[in-house]
Amino acid sequence: MSHGVAPAGPFEQPATFEFNAENKALADVIIARYPAGRQQSAIVPLLDIAQRQCGGWLPRAAMEYLSALLGMAPIRVYEVASFYTMFNMAPIGKHLVQVCTTTPCWLRGSDEVLAACKSKLGIGINQTTKDEMFSLMEVECLGACVNAPMVQINDDYYEDLTAEKTDAILDALARGETPAAGPQNGRQMSCPEGGPTTLTTLKAGE
């Protein structure tokens, strides 16, 4: 029934779920954006908040909690949650590594990046390491084609990768460090490699 990333092993569904005070306040703000009777429109952001509160996955209790909160049938919540690949139906690793393999990244070497992830983590696509530190996922275009190839790890983009740089990032994460996000080859954002090539005479503030 579940799709997407598989958990490291058997797991238990928590019996109950409830937003903590901070998230409840956030949820109220989001729900208030929609007219009365249309609260269901808030389902996607609320699922995201619930997933973050649960450590990266959506327990059944959370979906049922949201269905009661928004006054919709549980199956309707489940339909939405299962539609989006960003929602996980089972516990995943601490770091969710999403490797983009769409054409631009693929042309720029995403095969090597993916292979590096597989061999470094010792898992295949849609699997979770035994220590529950990493989950690996293959995703479609994340919109960072200028900096291809790239991976998304939790909320951060790591761009302009090679197999070695991918290894280094994963090693750093495994040591508990937080490697700097963004381009890994020294370029600034998505500017040309080696510095600007146009508008070079323009000074900031002029």
The single residue among 22, 79, 171, 177 that binds other proteins, judged by CB under 8 A, is 79
The answer to the question of residue 140 lying near other proteins (CB under 8 A) is no
Site for other proteins in 36-75 (CB under 8 A): 60, 72-75
> How far is it, in rounded angstroms, from Cα 56 to Cα 99?
17
- Tokens standing for 71? 């006054």
Q: How far is the CB of 83 from other proteins (least distance, A)?
A: 5
Burial group, residue 174, by CB count within 10 angstroms (0-12, 13-18, 19+): middle
Tell me if 101 contacts other proteins by CB under 8 A.
no
CA angle 5, 9, 14 (to 5 degrees): 85
Shortest distance in whole angstroms from residue 95 CB to other proteins = 25
Question: Binding of other proteins at residue 82 (CB under 8 A)?
Answer: yes
Question: Under a CB-based contact definition with an 8 Å cutoff, are residues 11 and 91 in contact?
Answer: yes
Cβ 79 to other proteins, closest distance in Å? 5
**Helical spans, DSSP H, in the chain:** 21-31, 43-53, 60-70, 74-83, 103-107, 110-121, 163-174
The correct pick among 38, 83, 130, 171 for binding other proteins (CB under 8 A) is 83
8 Å CB contact between 106 and 162: no
Q: Does 2 engage in binding with other proteins (CB under 8 A)?
A: yes
Residue closer to other proteins (CB basis): 3 or 33: 3
- Which residues are at the interface with other proteins (CB under 8 A)? 1-3, 13, 60, 72-76, 78-79, 82-83
